[in-house]
Chains A and B, each alone.
Chain A
Amino acid sequence: MFYREAGQYKTTYAADMAIFPIRQDRYGLALILLIAFVAIPAFGNQFLINTMMIPFLILSLAAIGLNLLTGYTGLLSLGTGAFMGVGAYACYKLETFFPQVNILVWIVVSGFVSALVGVAFGLPSLRIKGFYLAVATLAAQFFLEWCFARVPWLVNYNDSGAIEVPSETLFGLSVTGPTATPVTRYLVVLTIVAAMAWIASNIVHGRIGRMWMAVRDMDIAAELIGIRLLRAKLLAFAVSSFYVGVAGAMMVFLWLGAAEAEAFNIDLSFQILFMIIIGGLGSIVGAFFGATIIHLLPIALRALPAMVGLSIDAARIDQLTFMITGILIIVFLIAEPHGLARLWQTAKQKLRVWPFPY
């Protein structure tokens, strides 16, 4: 099958404005969804689902969230990890206060809690920009992390200082806690991530997305067009933190099962940031590409030597993956700031005119 748009004429603006205007793209997406929703649950083993796919999806969602703020609106944040924590702790508190309410409701609500906290920390963004804003988000990271570790109320005065997930059911099926099967948790995560990726894509292709990019590219001109900078930036903080918060809540409730304050430290912030740099700033699919490189590639690298019969010790491999990701980040920062998403676009463009490029 060729990647062509010949013969596919767009006769309405609605068709031209579709997010996947080319038929092959839509087929590709349908295929991916089919694999994700049917093939993986049917044939995937515990390792694929638990260790690879669930974290991959959750990290992708967090990367989408950060990309809305950093890639689309141009506001660099180093506090992603802490905002995931806000979602996780909010979800824990809500769930333990009102255990009778459906857990999915609390996952979404904790997104809103995270959005509120995001707006509060976003308030200085009108006055401070660039480097200084990044430092302010770093302060938020440390402050929130400190709260997670030092405010015992947040963990319901647990001796362990960690949040632990109780078992919860949805339509009679166990979705969280020790009794939930990986496949159920996977399907819940997948549904949420797919829906939220679709929504993010809708938002960035409409008025609000254009407003964010205008603020990113030339804030003075944006203001003279009638865009209120503070509102636009706060909305970006809110929506971004919502996504990141939901990802954080899912991280604890549908992946790890328990977490301490340390799980949401600066390392996590950087991990998500690297994902959007490698995947592509200002791209929704880029978030998935980035999560592939940062989360799935190291797993593949670890499995590779054993598969080809080499025995390299684990520490050596960890160093190796560390170096490879480091090199990738530098390469992308220098050569392709728009990341894998842009390379993918370019490749499609080439394929579209292949084999007669003129």
Chain B
Amino acid sequence: MSGEILLSVDDVSLSFGGVRAIADVSFDIRKGEVRAIIGPNGAGKTSMLNVVNGFYHPQKGEITYRGRTRARMKPHEAAEQGIARTFQNVALFKGMTTLDNIMTGRSLRMKRNIFWQALRHGPALDEEIKHRRVCEEIIDFLQIEHIRKTPVGALPYGLQKRVELGRALAMEPELLLLDEPMAGMNLEEKEDMSRFIVEANRLRGATIALIEHDMGVVMDLSDRVVVLEYGRKIADGVPDMVKSDQKVIDAYLGAGR
């Protein structure tokens, strides 16, 4: 598990007006691991992911990704550097089919310009077919063949979450940020999703940052866990250690869990 450090967050603070969402948080993510980020509601987990992929700009602190400390970065630049993301409340392209949603994840890898696209022949068609093949593999892997041509707006929530994972995987990301991929799912769906996450990590080689409320899932899947509460980091370590940490127990009991 102990690969080199892929991402490190140093002393980051972020506030919205008077609300302190993240306060002096530092942690790192190593190449190839599943890194869980947990904490009670409003702890700043989602905000942390938004900082990592350039959607929010922290007032203080530094982010170093692949050894490069970055200044202000735009979300599309994060994507260009191999960071993909799913959202807490599904952000799919509702009017598009499952296949098109996943194909959109290949956008950055498709290079043919508008003049080739206009003809949809020769190189443009070859490119389209090549990427279609990759997407079909992902569709097989996620077992969503039957909804390939269905507009995603019409799909049940559990399947939408799956399609969203597919779209992120289509980017072949180096770092995959998953914001509560199993929220609102039943046990069986959770098991499927866990399997997909493990395989994405092991077989597809994606380093994963995972936000999840289900402790069972977190303990099973993750290599290391960072715990946030009111924007501060209160614990960081392997699951067993974090589980028995008094501060973590208090935070969760205090939050009524």
User: Which A residues fall within an 8 A CB radius of B?
Assistant: 12-14, 17, 19, 199, 202-203, 205-208, 210-211, 213-214, 216-218, 220-229, 235, 239, 282
Nearest CB of B to A243, in Å: 12
Decide yes or no: A13 and B107 within 8 Å by CB, A208-B117, A221-B92, A228-B76 being known contacts. no
- Taking the complex as formed, is B120 at the interface, i.e. its CB lies under 8 A from any CB of chain A? yes
Q: List chain B residues, Cβ under 8 A from A216.
A: 93, 95
- Taking the complex as formed, is B209 at the interface, i.e. its CB lies under 8 A from any CB of chain A? no
B107, A206: Cβ atoms closer than 8 Å:
no
Decide yes or no: A221 and B107 within 8 Å by CB, A207-B112, A207-B117, A239-B114 being known contacts. no
Q: List chain B residues, Cβ under 8 A from A228.
A: 76
Stretch of B16-24, B29-37, B96-104 at the chain-chain interface: B96-104
A211, B107: Cβ atoms closer than 8 Å:
yes
Residue on A with the closest CB to B133? A13
- Taking the complex as formed, is B247 at the interface, i.e. its CB lies under 8 A from any CB of chain A? no
Q: List chain A residues, Cβ under 8 A from B84.
A: 224-225
A214, B76: Cβ atoms closer than 8 Å:
no
Nearest CB of B to A6, in Å: 17
Interface size on B, residues (CB 8 A): 40
Nearest CB of A to B194, in Å: 23
B93, A203: Cβ atoms closer than 8 Å:
no
B119, A202: Cβ atoms closer than 8 Å:
yes
Q: A13-B132, A221-B87, A224-B53 are in contact. List 18 more A-B contacts (CB 8 A).
A: A12-B129, A17-B132, A19-B120, A202-B119, A202-B120, A207-B107, A207-B110, A207-B128, A210-B100, A210-B104, A213-B95, A214-B96, A216-B95, A220-B91, A227-B104, A228-B76, A235-B114, A239-B114
Q: List chain B residues, Cβ under 8 A from A12.
A: 129
Once bound together, how far apart are the Cα atoms of A202 and B117, in whole Å? 7
Once bound together, how far apart are the Cα atoms of A214 and B91, in whole Å? 10
Nearest CB of B to A111, in Å: 13
Decide yes or no: A214 and B129 within 8 Å by CB, A207-B117, A228-B76 being known contacts. no
Once bound together, how far apart are the Cα atoms of A229 and B84, in whole Å? 17
Residue on B with the closest CB to A217? B93
B75, A223: Cβ atoms closer than 8 Å:
yes
- Taking the complex as formed, is B167 at the interface, i.e. its CB lies under 8 A from any CB of chain A? yes
- Taking the complex as formed, is B28 at the interface, i.e. its CB lies under 8 A from any CB of chain A? no
Nearest CB of A to B93, in Å: 4
A14, B100: Cβ atoms closer than 8 Å:
no
Cβ contacts B99-137/A at 8 Å (1 or 0 each): 010011111101010100111100011001100110010
Decide yes or no: A225 and B128 within 8 Å by CB, A205-B120, A218-B91 being known contacts. no
Once bound together, how far apart are the Cα atoms of A49 and B214, in whole Å? 68
B95, A282: Cβ atoms closer than 8 Å:
yes
A206, B128: Cβ atoms closer than 8 Å:
yes
A213, B93: Cβ atoms closer than 8 Å:
yes
Q: List chain B residues, Cβ under 8 A from A218.
A: 91-94
Q: List chain A residues, Cβ under 8 A from B110.
A: 207
Residue on A with the closest CB to B149? A16
- Taking the complex as formed, is B144 at the interface, i.e. its CB lies under 8 A from any CB of chain A? no
Residue on B with the closest CB to A282? B95
- Taking the complex as formed, is B157 at the interface, i.e. its CB lies under 8 A from any CB of chain A? no
Once bound together, how far apart are the Cα atoms of A24 and B219, in whole Å? 55
A202, B78: Cβ atoms closer than 8 Å:
no
Pick the residue among B114, B117, B120, B171 that contacts A225 (CB under 8 A). B171
Once bound together, how far apart are the Cα atoms of A207 and B133, in whole Å? 15
Nearest CB of A to B173, in Å: 10
Pick the residue among A199, A210, A211, A224 that contacts B118 (CB under 8 A). A199
Once bound together, how far apart are the Cα atoms of A279 and B115, in whole Å? 27
A208, B93: Cβ atoms closer than 8 Å:
no
Q: List chain A residues, Cβ under 8 A from B75.
A: 220, 223-224
A13, B136: Cβ atoms closer than 8 Å:
yes
Decide yes or no: A225 and B167 within 8 Å by CB, A217-B93, A218-B91 being known contacts. yes
A226, B108: Cβ atoms closer than 8 Å:
yes
Nearest CB of A to B161, in Å: 14
Q: List chain B residues, Cβ under 8 A from A282.
A: 95
Q: List chain B residues, Cβ under 8 A from A203.
A: 114, 117-118
B171, A226: Cβ atoms closer than 8 Å:
yes
Please name 20 pairs of A and B residues whose Cβ atoms are closer than 8 Å in the assembled complex, sorted by A.
Answer: A13-B133, A17-B129, A17-B132, A202-B118, A202-B119, A205-B120, A206-B117, A207-B106, A207-B110, A207-B112, A210-B100, A211-B107, A213-B93, A220-B91, A221-B87, A224-B78, A225-B79, A225-B167, A226-B80, A227-B107
Q: List chain B residues, Cβ under 8 A from A19.
A: 120
Once bound together, how far apart are the Cα atoms of A294 and B107, in whole Å? 37
Once bound together, how far apart are the Cα atoms of A14 and B96, in whole Å? 20
Q: List chain A residues, Cβ under 8 A from B129.
A: 12-14, 17
A225, B104: Cβ atoms closer than 8 Å:
yes
Once bound together, how far apart are the Cα atoms of A221 and B152, in whole Å? 14
Pick the residue among A13, A199, A225, A239 that contacts B105 (CB under 8 A). A225
A206, B53: Cβ atoms closer than 8 Å:
no
- Taking the complex as formed, is B196 at the interface, i.e. its CB lies under 8 A from any CB of chain A? no
Once bound together, how far apart are the Cα atoms of A224 and B173, in whole Å? 12
B128, A226: Cβ atoms closer than 8 Å:
no
Q: List chain B residues, Cβ under 8 A from A207.
A: 103, 106-107, 110, 112, 117, 128
Once bound together, how far apart are the Cα atoms of A213 and B93, in whole Å? 7
A220, B105: Cβ atoms closer than 8 Å:
no
Q: List chain B residues, Cβ under 8 A from A225.
A: 76, 79, 84, 104-105, 107-108, 167, 171
B128, A17: Cβ atoms closer than 8 Å:
yes
B55, A224: Cβ atoms closer than 8 Å:
yes
